[in-house]
Amino acid sequence: MLETLLPILIFSALGLAVIGAWRRIRLWRQGRPSPVPILKGLAAMPRRYLVDLHHVVGRDKVMSNTHVATAGGFVLAAVLMILVHGLGLAQGVLGWALLVASAIMFVGSLFVARRRRNPPARLSKGPWMRLPKSLMAFSLSVFLITLPTVGVLPADFGSWILAVALAAVVTWGLGEMFFGMTWGGPMKHAFAGALHLAFHRRAERFGGGRSTGLKALNLDDPKVSLGVETPSDFTWNQLLGFDACVQCGRCEAVCPAFAAGQPLNPKKLIQDMVVGMTGGSDANYAGSPYPDKPVGEHHGDPHGPIVAREGKALVDAETLWSCTTCRACVEECPMMIEHVDAIVDMRRFLTLEHGNTPNKGAEVLDNLIATDNPGGFEPGSRMHWAADLNLPVMRDVKQADVLLWLGDGAFDMRNQRTLRALIKVLRGAGVDFAVLGNEERDSGDVARRLGDEATFQSLAKRNIATLSQYRFQRIVTCDPHSFHVLKNEYGELGGNYEVFHHSTYIAELYEAGRLHFAPWKGGKVTYHDPCYLGRYNGEYEAPRNVLRALGIEVAEMARSGFRSRCCGGGGGAPITDIPGKQRIPDMRMNDVKETGAELVAVGCPQCTAMLEGVVDATAEIRDIAELVADALVPESEARAQPTGEARIAIKEVAS
Amino acid sequence: MQPEAQAPDAQARGALEVAVLVSIGRHPLTGRARRADQDARGVELAMSLDKSRITLVHAGVLDEESEGALRGYLGMGFQALTLVEQPPGADVIPALASALSEAKPQLVITGERAEQGEGSGLLPYLLAERLGWPMVSGLANVEKVENGVATLLQALPRGQRRRLQVRLPAIVTVDGAASAARQSAYGPARRGEMRLAEAPAVFDEASNDWTVQAARKRPKRLKIVKAASARDRFKAAAAKAEGGGGQVLSDVTPEQGAEAIYKLLKEEAVLR
Ligand code: SF4
Ligand code: SF4
């Protein structure tokens, strides 16, 4: 009986899957066009899956092995099953291979089941809780029905009751695995995920690359509405990306805004976009909600607004404004979903079309438009802090090795200390540098992240025009935000530069023997990775190298390097200031406290400001430039009086 | 503001026609053209009125700079702005008066004074004189409009407010006491339309004889406070300006009034 039933079951499941796939593709195609190389993408997909995706998944070894067994077993079993049971090609080795594949898959599903027994809060429940059972149903039933095929059991083994029971389980397994894959079950992630990898908007991310700069918004056509208002305003491959989410909650676990109790959960946000794409309410969402926002009150449809001007739609505006753009979610997401792009796309609409940037947002943007700096200071006073330093200005010298980009920290008394320290270091190393002085403008970072692409592009274009007048080898800056924007976001507008963060540049100077340090005498030190230096630009080592050169042993925080927790200062978050239960910088200073460090080294004016704003902090906050400037000794002195272990070698040679 | 109170009126006579006169502002630090702060507050006030139909009117030159500033007003959520084009150096009052008498708004709102040019603050008065409409300055709010009468809240120094009633049509001006203007959004700003309106151009003859120079901050008259304690100093700082030396003239002839003012100006050495 089974022999006749199986092909029918298999092919009807496949048929339904194809119909589902077509419907799903139609949902994605509601999005705006986005040209991607289709065939090249499909060809690259297996490698992207096996290498890039598993590089992220592999951060959790058990889960990674579980996934390899389950998914690998499934793909193999599915193909073989179609051959063996669907087409009746049971001869020889195929049947045995199918037995092995389904056995592997079964073992994998046991691990899935184990993990689902006490699932961590970040995992979604609901339909996902039945997945291990479905996986087992599929693998076990396939295994059993294959036993008679290969002759281990007689073909007429058991009664018809057994056959019916087995057929029922096969149907369940097939239903979940084939039908559910394209009709919106948990297995959807496999179908959407594979295509998402193939048609990813940032193909540069695969093969060890990096692509973190926001994509420019085309402002040429005054008729079009700017940014994303409705789910169908996303590009089709963004929608596809949202659909690939496995609801693993890794993004939720690392999101600083979620941890602070602000109304944002990146996982829920992606799920809401899926709800919007298909139309309906979020009532079926079975994971952690946005803090303090009950599930079931929001709804959307593909052509309806995501954020309502008044009342509720799919997402509340404050959810979008809570994000610090720290990119921790993107870094953790095994499906390589781009949360930050989506959030900024939606913010663009709110700012450019609604004129609804919350709290100080409007004021900051007005200041940027009128005075080219967010604080609304007189642009001619940009260099007041350096009145006594006699800095070479590009307008006079026309060229220099290094163009020192000061950033808006030039108006901030705290950051002026860092800048003075950096100048001391550059002079100590005899670097030929110059500044733009009053010709410098805000880089546009904050305007862009507040969604004001127009102001960003206006600032960027004027900065590029200014920079094009002078000759320099490289730009050095102590502000990772300017660094990122100059390095990764000006290119699309025609400005291509070699840009260095000051820590990288100082590390280089030290290695070249142009800087000499007195040994460190202070206490324990930890280092806070700025998001825009670390995750955005992959620079984790240089700051640590500089600290090591100073003789400092960095006591790492639990969350450091690519897992560093944001200080709360990025993405205009301090400007939009969405309330939560605690403050992000307080949490970060707690991380510092746990290391027992007396001092935390930072490399970003924004981090400095955020962390120094924490009351009753247990550690002092110093920029790397300040630490270096304090330890600086002239070369002659370093030779004559070696004072620490670091220079003992020199002593021996000299005496 | 008060929909219930206004509903019958609005039903009876349709929407309230409001015209807001907007000028090209000038940022105090950089001198860049922008929405003028007070005019933008005027637009905001108009937008807060229930059932109003708002027309933005500007009289002046259209060039790149002024267009950017005018689009700033459109970005507050308007599809069009009426532009009464005038050559440079024109006196805009006749042009505005003719545009307004044609459009017949019930309420005209504008800022107290322009951020550049003469900035004398006389425009609303001259306009009111020409049109024969009442004019109220320094508004914080328009509370309601009922049966052709508007109830206004006028801002006085030190946070005091005075409620006034005025028969429409009228001209009102706002200053910093009115609510701040909403954010101007780029999309609507650049999509908005400039509707050109014809009006006679009258050259401002008087301005020929003037020398124009950048304004300086006026020196403040020092108030010398002799106070023994911090409390006294605080009281002195927070006290109402006392019109100790002044006098209130009521029921006097215009000549007597003018004479009194002339005398005061002499005493204060404003006139010599
Ligand atoms: S967005 Fe990515 S990290 Fe977040 S739940 Fe979905 S798959 Fe996991
Ligand atoms: S970028 Fe950072 S703050 Fe924004 S959603 Fe992702 S993890 Fe949360």
Q: Are A93 and A80 in contact (CB under 8 A)?
A: no
Structure tokens at B70: 């005018």
Segment (H or E) for B177 = none
Write the CA distances from A580 to A37, A260, B99, integer angstroms: 43, 6, 52
Which of these, A19, A608, A572, A44, lies nearest to A336 by C-alpha position? Answer: A44
Q: What is the mean pLDDT of residues B232-236?
A: 79
Per-residue pLDDT for A554 more than 80? yes
Structure tokens at A46: 């297996």
Alpha-carbon distance A379 to A41, whole Å? 48
Q: What is the mean pLDDT of residues A402-406?
A: 97
Per-residue pLDDT for B220 more than 90? no
For ligand 2, atom 4, the nearest C-alpha belongs to: A323
Alpha-carbon distance A274 to A155, whole Å? 46
CA distance B158 to chain A (A): 25
- pLDDT on residue A158: 64
Better-scored residue on pLDDT, A382 or A650: A382
Numbered ranges of CATH 3.40.50.620 in chain B? 2-209
Flag if B30 and A370 touch (Cβ within 8 Å).
Answer: yes
Alpha-carbon distance B42 to B37, whole Å? 9
Q: Which atom of ligand 1 is nearest to the CA of A244?
A: 7
CA distance B270 to chain A (A): 34
CA distance B27 to chain A (A): 7
DSSP state of A615: T
DSSP state of B139: E
Best B24, B26, B29 member to test A by mutation, with max A CBs in 10 Å, is B29
What confidence category does residue A90 fall into, taking pLDDT thresholds of 50, 70 and 90?
Answer: low
Comparing A387-396, B177-186, B213-222, the range with the smallest average pLDDT is B213-222
Using only the alpha carbons of chain B, give its radius of gyration. Answer: 21
Residue of B nearest to A372 (CA): B30
Q: Are A102 and A142 in contact (CB under 8 A)?
A: yes
Alpha-carbon distance A227 to B75, whole Å? 16
Chain A hits for B188, CB-CB cut-off 8 Å, are 353, 355
- pLDDT on residue B10: 42
Write the CA distances from B109 to B34, B51, B230, integer angstroms: 19, 16, 43
Q: Residues with Cβ < 8 Å from B243, sequence gap 6 or more? A: none
Q: Is A484 exposed, middle or buried (0-12, 13-18, 19+ CB in 10 A)?
A: buried
For ligand 1, atom 6, the nearest C-alpha belongs to: A245
- pLDDT on residue B226: 75
Per-residue pLDDT for A649 more than 60? no
Which of these, A34, A42, A31, A16, lies nearest to A196 by C-alpha position? Answer: A42
What confidence category does residue B13 fall into, taking pLDDT thresholds of 50, 70 and 90?
Answer: low
Using only the alpha carbons of chain A, give its radius of gyration. Answer: 29
Name the closest ligand to CA A266.
2
Per-residue pLDDT for A374 more than 70? yes
**Strand A433-435 relative to strand A399-405, pairing:** parallel
Best B24, B186, B193, B194 member to test A by mutation, with max A CBs in 10 Å, is B186
Flag if A452 and B191 touch (Cβ within 8 Å).
Answer: no
Q: Count the neighbouring beta carbons within 10 Å of the beta carbon of residue A32.
A: 13
Which of these, A431, A399, A548, lies nearest to A500 by C-alpha position? Answer: A431
Q: Residues with Cβ < 8 Å from A265, sequence gap 6 or more? A: A252, A255, A258, A287, A288, A289, A290, A291
Helix A266-278 vs helix A339-349: angle between axes, to the nearest 10 degrees? 70
Per-residue pLDDT for A640 more than 70? no
Alpha-carbon distance B150 to A245, whole Å? 58
Chain B hits for A351, CB-CB cut-off 8 Å, are 183, 185-186
Query: What residues of chain A, 209 to 238, have a C-beta less than 8 Å from chain B?
Result: 222-223, 225-226
- pLDDT on residue A162: 76
Flag if B29 and A376 touch (Cβ within 8 Å).
Answer: yes
pLDDT by residue (tens digit) across A241-284? 999 999 999 999 999 999 999 999 999 999 999 999 999 999 99
- Identify residue A500 by its one-letter amino acid code: F
For ligand 1, atom 7, the nearest C-alpha belongs to: A245
- pLDDT on residue A191: 93
What confidence category does residue A215 fall into, taking pLDDT thresholds of 50, 70 and 90?
Answer: very high
Q: What is the mean pLDDT of residues B238-255?
A: 75
Beta bridge mates, A600: A526, A621
Residues in chain B: 272
pTM: 0.90
Per-residue pLDDT for B215 more than 70? yes
Give residue for tokens 């004074």.
B113
Better-scored residue on pLDDT, B214 or B166: B166
B260-271 b/e (C-beta count within 10 Å ≥ 16 → b): eeeeeeeeeeee
**Mean of the per-residue pLDDT values of chain A:** 91
When mean pLDDT is compared over A51-55, A350-354, B84-88, the highest value belongs to A350-354
Q: Are A602 and A623 in contact (CB under 8 A)?
A: yes
Gap from CA of A341 to ligand 1 centroid (Å): 14
Residue B200, preceding peptide bond in cis (omega within 30° of 0): no
DSSP string covering A453-495, please?
Answer: HHHHHHHHHHHHHHHTTSEEEEEEES-HHHHHIIIIISGGGT-
Per-residue pLDDT for A97 more than 80? yes
Q: Are A532 and A604 in contact (CB under 8 A)?
A: yes
**Strand B149-155 relative to strand B161-167, pairing:** antiparallel
Alpha-carbon distance A243 to A237, whole Å? 10
Q: What are phi and psi of B55, to 5 degrees?
A: -115, 130
Helices marked H in chain B = 3-13, 37-48, 64-74, 92-103, 123-131, 186-191, 230-238, 254-267
Flag if A355 and B182 touch (Cβ within 8 Å).
Answer: yes
Domain B2-209 -> CATH class: alpha beta
CA distance A219 to chain B (A): 9
pLDDT by residue (tens digit) across A484-517? 999 999 999 999 999 999 999 999 999 999 999 9
What's the helix, strand, coil split of chain A in %, to 5? 55, 5, 35
DSSP state of B249: -
Q: What is the mean pLDDT of residues A159-165?
A: 76
A228-246 b/e (C-beta count within 10 Å ≥ 16 → b): bbbbbbbbbbbbbbbbbbb
Name the closest ligand to CA A249.
1
Write the CA distances from A133 to A109, A186, A203, A217, B6, integer angstroms: 8, 12, 35, 46, 64
% chain A with pLDDT above 90: 77
pLDDT by residue (tens digit) across A453-474? 999 999 999 999 999 999 999 9
DSSP string covering A310-329, please?
Answer: SS-SSS-HHHHHT-----HH
Segment (H or E) for B90 = strand B90-91
